[in-house]
A and B are shown apart, each in its own frame.
Chain A
Amino acid sequence: MSNLLDLLLNNPLLLAEAALNGLLLGGVLALLALGLNLIFGVLDIVWIVYVDLAMLSMYLIYFTVQVYGFPLLLGAVLGIGLGVLLGIAVHLLIITPILNSPPINQLLATGGLLFFIQSLATFLWTTDHRSVRLNLPTIEVAGMFVSFARLIAFGLAVVVMIALYVFLTRTYIGTAIRAVSQDRGAMSLMGANPQRVYVVTSAVGGALAGVAAALLIIQYSVHPYFGAAFGPITFMICVLGGLGNMFGAFVASFIMSEIISIGGVVWSTEMGYVIAFALFIVLMFIRPGGIFAKRQ
């Protein structure tokens, strides 16, 4: 605590910079959390493998841009496309056969896929950290230093989240996705083929992973254990916001990213994560249904 107080009194600008960076990180985390939560809301299955799918898109963007020299925009489009394909493939090949199995089997199946993808990535691409070199500047905003890549990533994440909101509230299929998350059976009485709703949901979830991949690869290097770095925090955000609650996931993303970012500046990056996870455990005792759950 004394560190935090010290910083607040002696170097408030550094603290403000950390808060700003936390906000920017939160935007990209929110994309991942919303994608995972969207799928959970509709299918009642947590895709433990979700961030690992984003990792595969990151590799594709890396190879397209860094190895083969194509423009980043093309890499991003391919990465998003791969996300969509992976989302549909996971649903058709892994989820569909076990849709009515006990939840533990579903969790184990997507968990098994996670280890498969991790091992395959290690085998194919080794454990090297690979990054796309962009030479984007660091810019100064009111005395605070922010990386331009982070700023772009945040801006695009916000645009995509607005698009997601419009899709879920204005279109028939988007509204049907929300409806199915409230009553899985009743939507078929409206004439909607449940499998079609599931496939569209998985494709949109995959697309969000692809967008997140494009925004992550300009800030972080990719390696086979990237999913292990961002997966747990994504899952935690969803639980904190209330599994299936999109608004909750959105808010929880920024709570978590601020704790990690400010904790990182005041103490150390590792400590930031320790605090975030500790707070999560405590909150789960106080509010097991998430921060926005109605009190029983």
Chain B
Amino acid sequence: MLELDGVSAGYGHFTALWDVALRVSAGEAVAVVGPNGAGKTTLLRVISGVIAARAGSLAFEGAALTGRPAHEIVAHGIAHVPEGRRLFPGLTVADNLKMGAFLPSARAHFAESVERVYGLFPVLKERRGQRAGSLSGGEQQMLAIGRALMSRPKLILLDEPSMGLAPVMVLRLFDLIRRVRAEGYTILVVEQNVRQVLKLVDRAYLLEVGRIRMEGRADALSEQDFVRKAYVGL
């Protein structure tokens, strides 16, 4: 479904990603794990078109995405839940969801999509008239995911969904992501909470200083001594 080959990217004189190859198949859940500053966020930003790749190619369902701007990539069916959620804090929950359905193709199905999001996250329905900035961290993350679902994507990119959440909320959130997955969405998630995320996904990539160091099935990867010591904390 998603194919990256030889992708390099960076900011100014700094190169954050070197020659990255990555595959995500339809229906799969894939994680990219690694330490702070490994280039995980940059990787998602390249896929969603927030920054352009310096080299390499990106393709989604056979269509070349290389060099396309972010607003066109959403139309291909990739929704990006960015680091720090990037909600519109002064807009209501309902208006944030409305903005998620900004694409003409998504607007046509607004009523249906919003019911589905409220079904997944009932708390958002209760709070639909409240400003997004007044929600708790967990609710904000649900809204960020819900807003991404409003564009009717096939692939969802999640950047550090557990960031800034209390441990109890982190567990709940991973359960909710499982439910989103069960609805048939393909997921590519970047996480520092390696232990939890490896329980969620089928496969994972280990990214270190901008390069893919390892890849494999999630269960196999969590058995690796190297990963266990460094990230899982066992």
Query: Interface on A for B, CB 8 Å cutoff?
Result: 172, 175-176, 178-179, 182-183, 185-194
The answer to whether B90 touches A189, judged by C-beta atoms less than 8 angstroms apart, is no
Chain A CB within 8 A of B216 CB: no
Top 10 nearest A-B pairs (CB, nearest first) are: A191-B74, A186-B86, A191-B103, A188-B70, A190-B102, A179-B88, A182-B88, A188-B71, A193-B71, A191-B102
Known: A176-B99, A185-B50. A191 touches B88 (CB 8 A): no
Complex contact A191–B86 (CB within 8 A): no
Whole-angstrom CA separation of A179 from B101 in the bound complex? 13
Contact across chains for A175 and B99 when beta carbons are under 8 A apart: yes
User: Is there contact, CB below 8 Å, between B91 and A182?
Assistant: yes
For the complex, is B37 an interface residue (Cβ under 8 Å from A)?
A: no
B91 contacts across to A, CB distance below 8 A: 175, 178-179, 182
Which of A176, A188, A190 has the most chain B CB atoms closer than 10 A to its own CB? A190
Q: Is B75's CB under 8 angstroms from A191's CB?
A: yes
A175-B95, A176-B99, A183-B88 are known contacts. Are A189 and B75 too (CB-CB below 8 A)?
no
Interface size class of B (residues with CB under 8 A): 20 to 34
- Nearest-CB distance from B151 to chain A (Å)? 6
Using CB atoms and an 8 Å cutoff, list the residues of chain B in contact with chain A: 48, 50, 69-71, 74-75, 79-80, 82, 86-91, 95, 98-100, 102-103, 106-107, 147, 151
A-side contacts of B103, CB under 8 Å = 190-191
Do B50 and A172 touch (CB < 8 A)? no
Chain A interface secondary structure, helix, strand, loop or mixed?
helix
Contacts of A178 in B (CB 8 A): 88, 90-91, 95
Q: Which residues of B contact A186 (CB under 8 A)?
A: 82, 86-88
7 A-B pairs within 8 Å (CB atoms) are namely A178-B90, A185-B50, A186-B82, A188-B50, A189-B74, A190-B99, A191-B151
| A188/B98 in contact, CB under 8 A | no
B90 touches which one: A182, A190, A194 (CB < 8 A)? A182
CB distance from A79 to the nearest CB of B (A): 32
Q: How far is the CA of A190 from the CA of B102 in the complex (A)?
A: 6
Decide: B71 and A192 in contact? CB cutoff 8 A: yes
With A and B bound together, what is the CA distance between A55 and B102 in angstroms? Answer: 36
Once the chains bind, are B95 and A189 in contact (CB under 8 Å)? Answer: no
